[in-house]
Amino acid sequence: MRRIARLCYIFFTAWRFGLLPLLRDVLKPGLRRSLLSVLCWISPGKHLPRGERIRLTLEKLGPIFVKFGQVLSTRRDLLPEDIANELAKLQDQVPPFSNEESRRLIEEALGQSIEEVFVSFDATPVASASVAQVHFGVLRATEKHPQWAGQAVAIKVLRPGILPVIDGDLALMYDLAKIIEKSSEDGRRLKPRENVAEFDTYLHDELDLMREAANASQLRRYFVDSKKLMIPEMYWDLCHTNVIVMERMYGISIGRTAELQAAGVDFKKLAADGVEIFFTQVFEYGFFHADMHPGNIMISLEPETFGRFISLDFGIVGALSESDKNYLALNFLAFFNRDYRRVAELHIESGWVPAETRVEELEGAVRSVCEPYFDRPLKEISLGIVLMRLFQTSRRFKVEIQPQLTLLQKTLLNVEGLARQLDPDLDLWKTAKPILEKWVDKQLGWRGLIDGLKAEAPMWAKILPTLPRLLADTLAQASQQQKKVESGELEVLKALLLEERRTHRLLVGALLFAGGFLAGILIITLGVH
């Protein structure tokens, strides 16, 4: 009953914000389409642009649908640009849960009272989202950790009772996806069920705060000596699946540009550093922060760390394989060298384009996407948009774009937007090219060969002493195999010889019989005469 009521509310909200025409247009002519047409005529939101209609509907339906829209905005290879741009505006605006509930959850997770763990604890959350909210506090020293004394921390608490709500809304999303998929060819092209399944994975990953803590810890390890990026340290003894405690970071949100400018932050350097940090994460480590919006990025104003980036909220991260990194780096380099044939070849070599695809045909499609950008200054070229266009072109050739790449493309668009907000004259290619070239040289040049040999050295050290024995065993096996072959050949020869002898005897017998028969006829003939 509750599920039916929720479905009715979704339908009403879609009608209120003028979303039903979008559903009507994908339906085949019939009674359902006629009924929807009548409802569309009296919809209050029918005059709004379609992207805005979708965004307002998702915002009204609640945080889970908002988060789904955020994830869906990453699929620019599937969505029209106006819808993807509007969905990118979605922000979590969720009221916090009660202070009493927050204290209870923290104490249950830590197994101690708030006062035993913290010298002070701010019950009023500093941030509240669809999945969790954050409090500030100061740690108390323990016998095991005396260094904790006076350490300022941030405590992230998972929203209570969130799992049943998520599962209920996900079940409805799957139902709606099936309806959309069955309604039209366009509905099937958008792959609604696959997108809901992808969102399901993302959301359940975010429900495990230990996973987020592990993501943060790994990125911190990569950038521990960095002069450009700071990542909070995790207090592992205080981390659980629904509560994590981390180092408190001090800074100003990157979106508050007026305050940063007043503090004397160099925006040109900040923009270049941001791009370098992102490309280093992607190509150096293949592990990147995939939720880089202003709410998750701060700039330090402390004297010893002035102007450094501070990353927060690691619930969503992207990971790339070596082949993914190769593909992306070489594609970017080929694009800026205007080597469209190489771009087409890379698409085919990656295995994402059917092997029978004609290189010339794909080359022409890529050229039509890329060539217009070279009429502009390099600083005006968006790598994110280029990547998106290439994905859209690839779809014509039946390419299945991998989720990690769409996540990368969305993150790249965010990084570009933030960087150019800080420095409108930023030449993204000038900043990114040295990083890409360095990585390509490291992976595919002499350095790559040397590094590969170094990486394999421990394995070779283990294998080399056994090579004589392995060689002897191989030769012995070959000798035995040869003997078996020779033995088999001997048996075959014996069988052939026996068969030959049998045939010879039969032939001799036949000849004797024929000779005797002829001799008998001759004797009878002579006797008669």
389: exposed, middle or buried (C-beta count within 10 Å: 0-12, 13-18, 19+)? Answer: buried
Residue 115 tokens read as: 């006062």
311 DSSP β-pair partners: 297
Answer left, alpha or beta for residue 316, where phi above 0 means left and psi between -120 and 50 means alpha: beta
Checking if the pLDDT of 508 tops 80, the result is no
30: left (phi over 0), alpha (psi -120 to 50) or beta: left
Whole-number pLDDT of residue 234: 96
- Count of H-run helices and E-run strands, the chain: 22, 11
Mean pLDDT, rounded, for 300-311: 93
pTM for the structure as a whole: 0.70
In Å, what is the CA distance from 392 to each residue of 123, 186, 195, 375?
Answer: 48, 15, 16, 21
* 296 Cβ contact list (under 8 Å, min separation 6): 289, 311, 312, 313
- Asked if residues 357 and 397 have their Cβ atoms less than 8 Å apart, the reply is yes
The C-alpha atoms of residue 352 and residue 232 are separated, in whole angstroms, by: 38
CA gap 449, 456 in Å, rounded:
11
**pLDDT of amino acid 522:** 45
Does residue 224 contact residue 326 with C-beta atoms inside 8 Å? no
Nearest partner of 245 among 128, 143, 114, judged by Cα: 114
| pLDDT tens string 262-276 | 999 999 899 889 888
Mapped onto helix, strand or coil, the DSSP state of residue 136 is: strand
Instruction: Determine the Cα–Cα distance for residues 517 and 520; give it in Å rounded to an integer.
Output: 5
> Which tens digit of pLDDT belongs to each residue from 11-25?
777 777 777 666 665
pLDDT tens digit string along 234-263?
A: 999 999 999 999 999 999 998 888 899 999
Identify residue 413 by its one-letter amino acid code: L
Report the pLDDT value the prediction gives residue 26, as an integer from 0 to 100. Answer: 55
Please check the confidence at residue 517 and state whether its pLDDT lies above 50: no
State the burial class of residue 397 (Cβ atoms within 10 Å of its Cβ: 0-12, 13-18, 19+). middle
Secondary structure (3-state) at 154: strand
Predicted confidence at residue 68, as pLDDT, reads: 74
Q: Is the dihedral of CA 510, 512, 513, 517 positive or negative?
A: positive
Residues in the chain, how many?
529
What local confidence, expressed as pLDDT, does residue 349 receive? 77
Instruction: Look at residues 135, 197, 248 and name the one whose alpha carbon lies nearest to residue 403.
Output: 197
pLDDT at 493: 58
**Distance between CA atoms of residues 390 and 367, nearest Å:** 10
| DSSP secondary structure letters along 231-293 | -PPB-GGG--SSEEEEE----EETT-HHHHHHTT--HHHHHHHHHHHHHIIIIIISEEE---S
Per DSSP, what are the bridge partners of residue 246? Answer: 154, 234
Spatial separation of the C-alpha atoms in residues 316 and 117, rounded to whole Å: 29
Active site residue 266: no
Lowest mean pLDDT among 81-85, 158-162, 338-342, 446-450: 446-450
| Strand pairing report for 127-128 and 118-121 | unpaired
Mutual orientation of helices 428-444 and 383-396 as an angle, nearest 10°?
A: 60
Out of 77, 169, 273, 291, pick the active-site residue: 291
User: What phi and psi values does residue 287 have, to the nearest 5 degrees?
Assistant: -150, 115
